[in-house]
Every structure is written in structure tokens, then in C-alpha cells.
Structure 1
Amino acid sequence: MRMILTALAIAAVAAPGGARDRSQIPEAIAAGKPENCIRTISIRETHVRSDSVIDFDMVGGKVYRNTLPQACPELGFEEKFLYKTSIGQLCSVDTITVLHDGPGGAGPTCGLGVFQPVTLVKAPKHP
């Protein structure tokens, strides 16, 4: 049996100025039961919100918020990470590794939490 290992680097797109401060994390309302895994092929985009919060935008418009059980140093600053999976799913038992620009390239490795489907609350626009 041949196993194919998939390694994907996810560069998160953040709002201008970043949302690294927990008070700047977009408010979200739970939209269903948490899931242990999401299909990697369905991940359209990620948004690193802080050292402990990542939003996964999925094909079809669903959003999953993953709140890491422990803060991941440098994640909110670097806003990009790598994960490896051999099953086509990213799960709460998996880890991510913070990516750095420059020599070495890899930072801390941190565990994921469950994937909570959410509806992001739109902030009112200020004139």
C-alpha cells in the first residue's frame, strides 16, 4: 500500500494592520457542532487572527474557527503556517508549524483545537 504525504503551506491573508490583538479578532457566533476534522481540499483560505485563533474559509462559504488549546508563539506575527497530513483531512489531533521568512524558515510547532463552524459578525462601517 502506497501512502502519499501531503504538505501544504498556508499563507494567511490578514486585514491591513493585522488582527493580532485578541480585541481585534472578529466576533463569531457558533453555527453548529464542533468537528474534529475538515477536508484539506475544501480549504479556500485561512486567516490567522492571533497566536491562538485561525479562521478557515471553506469552498462553499462555510467558516471554521480553530482556537488552539495553547497560544502558538509567533503565529499572530508571522501569519503563516505549514501542516502535513496523509489522509486529506486536517484534524484536532494534528499540529501546525509557524513559518518564518528567511533562513531556517520554521518556527514553533503547535497543536490544533476542534473546528467550530461559525458565522462571522460583520462590524459596522464607520464613515
Structure 2
Amino acid sequence: MPLRPPASVLLSLGLPLALAGCSGTQPGTTPYRADRVPPARVTGPAESCIPLMQFRETQVRDSRTIDFLAPGGRRGWRSTLPNSCPGLTLERAFSFNTSISQLCQQDIITVLQRLGPGLMPGAACGLGPFTPIELERRR
């Protein structure tokens, strides 16, 4: 059976980079485009924090949009980052570290860059508010 690193290892990657910030779209990054984000119905007011136990997966939609999806994959929260996060669209992988049982607006995510057989911390970016959503069914 292959060994997999514990989730805490992935969650703690890049902690020293937590002070690094993201700025607006930089040359060579994919700009924010709302047409790349699947349509969703807003089901409530934006929230500052969401419980970690309430989402099972994340879907990076573009350089500013991440869906945190509950079991079943149609309901969850959409966080629109205040700024474009370099490398997020390309890598579609990130880590975060929190000392509480919630993920909150302004918490820092770190893009995980694939480098050879491993992962390397990339840009660190702040999250935006979490808007409750239900993804529309594909037609």
C-alpha cells in the first residue's frame, strides 16, 4: 500500500509564506473571467467563516474563484478572492492552515506547484467571503 502524507503535512505547507500577499493580475497570469465559473444559485447571505467539517472537496474555478463543496458536490460555498492569485488557475491545488475548526475570510491559501515528483509552495493569497451556493444542473 503506497504511503500518503497526512493531511496536516499538506495543510502546513507554506506557513512561512503566509505573510506573502497577492496583488492584482500580474503579467503571465490568467485574468479573472466570470464566464469560466459555472453558474450557481445563491442560497443565502455571504458568511465570514465556514466549518471545516461542512465541505468535502474544493474546485478551483479560476484565479479568483474557489468552490468549497459539501458532500454530493452541488451545494457549498463560493469564495471570490479579493485579488487574482498567481498560479491558482494552472495548478488548481492549494493548501491552508488554520488553528480553529473553521476556514475564514482573509485566511491565507498557498498555491501548490507541481515540481517533478513533489509539491512546492507558490503564491499565498487571502480568501474572500463565502457565499452559500447550489450549482445549477448541467443541461
Give TM class, smaller chain: 0.7 to 0.9
How high is the sequence identity, in percent, across the aligned residues?
Answer: 40
- Match of residue 64, structure 1, among 67, 77, 80: 77
Q: 1:92 aligns with which of 85, 101, 105?
A: 105
CA deviations over 1:7-54 (Å, ceiling 9, x no partner): 654xxxxxxxxxx96423101121101110011122201100000000
Q: 1:116 is matched with which residue: 112, 116, 131?
A: 131
Distance 1:57 1:36 in 2: 16
Query: How much is the aligned-residue C-alpha RMSD, in angstroms?
Result: 2.1
Does residue 48 (structure 1) correspond to residue 60 (structure 2)? The answer is yes
Structure 1 or 2: more helix by fraction: 2
Which of 32, 44, 51 is residue 39 of structure 1 equivalent to? 51
In structure 2, what is the Cα distance between the partners aligned to 1:42 and 1:81? 18
State the one-letter code of the partner of 1:117: P
Which 10-residue stretch deviates more, 81-90 or 34-43? 34-43
1:23 aligns with 2:30: no
What stretches of structure 1 of length at least 5 have no aligned partner? 1-5, 10-19
TM-score by length of 2: 0.70
Q: Which consecutive unaligned segments of at least 5 residues does structure 2 have?
A: 1-7, 12-31
Partner of 1:35, secondary structure, is coil
Deviations 1:41-73 (A, max 9, x none): 222011000000000112476310000010101
Match of 2:14 in 1: none
Report if aligned partners of 1:100, 1:106 keep a CA contact under 8 Å in 2.
yes
Structure with the higher strand share, 1 or 2: 1
